[in-house]
Amino acid sequence: MKIDFEITYDANKLARKMPKMVREYLNDGLDSLKKGSKNAIKSGNFAPLGEFTKFARKEGLSPKSNHKKTGSKKPLHYTGDLFRSITSKKRGHELIFNEYGIFHLGIKDASEIDILLENKKKSVVGKTGTAYKIRANSFTREMQDQFGWKSDRLAGKDVPVRDWLQFDDTIKDIKKGL
């Protein structure tokens, strides 16, 4: 018995288009991550601010904000530095943001972030609990001396994880499209 197969397609055409398809997939995923992260910071749906942070904002104590006074209670939104720093580089498929954003995610090093577009969750890191502890420094000592805040209310206090590194809803369509 003899069986003949006839090939009716050309895999070379697919091979030529595949790099562009993968590049578009990665770039669209990067855009989704950038937009989702900015939306997460805008919405401010994180663990609430501590009492001292609310006080410091109201009194304009932060030198990083040029001593701007505000009643805003949105975490990660006060100076706008993290929000404005979120950019992307399509060529290297990189999301770039201020380094202190890493600490709010509850990780110590950006190499701990493993972004998978196939992830079923909106969040990239998905951590909860304590992000870091406030260290005693000249600012915390000054606040204690000037405003009577006890050092145990500042230094050593837990700062909760604020998981701002997220995809927006378009990631679902991007995954289906590939």
CA–CA dist 21, 7 (Å, integer):
24
The domain ranges of the chain are 16-177
Q: How far apart are CA 142 and CA 149, in angstroms?
A: 9
Q: What is the mean pLDDT of residues 145-164?
A: 78
Helix 51-59 to helix 138-147 angle (10° resolution) is 80
Whole-number pLDDT of residue 118: 66
Helix (H, G, I), strand (E, B) or coil at 178: coil
Specify which residues 160 forms β-bridges with: 130
What pLDDT is recorded for position 160? Answer: 92
φ/ψ of residue 18, rounded to 5: -60, -45
Per-residue pLDDT, 41: 94
Question: What confidence score (pLDDT) does residue 121 get?
Answer: 65
Greatest Cα-to-Cα distance within the chain, rounded to the nearest angstrom: 96
Token pair, residue 170, equals: 């378009």
For residue 15, CA distances in Å to 12, 19, 24, 34, 59 come to 5, 8, 15, 29, 61
pLDDT band at 79 (very low <50, low <70, confident <90, very high): confident
- What pLDDT is stored for residue 152 in this prediction? 56
- Dump strand ranges (E) for 27-147: 87-89, 94-96, 130-133
3-state secondary structure of 159: strand
Residue-level pLDDT at 85? 95
Lowest mean pLDDT among 23-27, 96-100, 150-154: 150-154
89 in helix, strand or coil? Answer: strand
Query: How would residue 40 be classed by pLDDT, with cut points 50, 70 and 90?
Result: very high
Tokens 């378009």: give the residue: 170
Q: Give the pairing of strands 94-96 and 87-89.
A: antiparallel
Q: pTM of the predicted model, to two decimals?
A: 0.80
Under the banding of pLDDT at 50, 70 and 90, the label for residue 141 is: confident
Rg of the chain, C-alpha, whole Å: 23
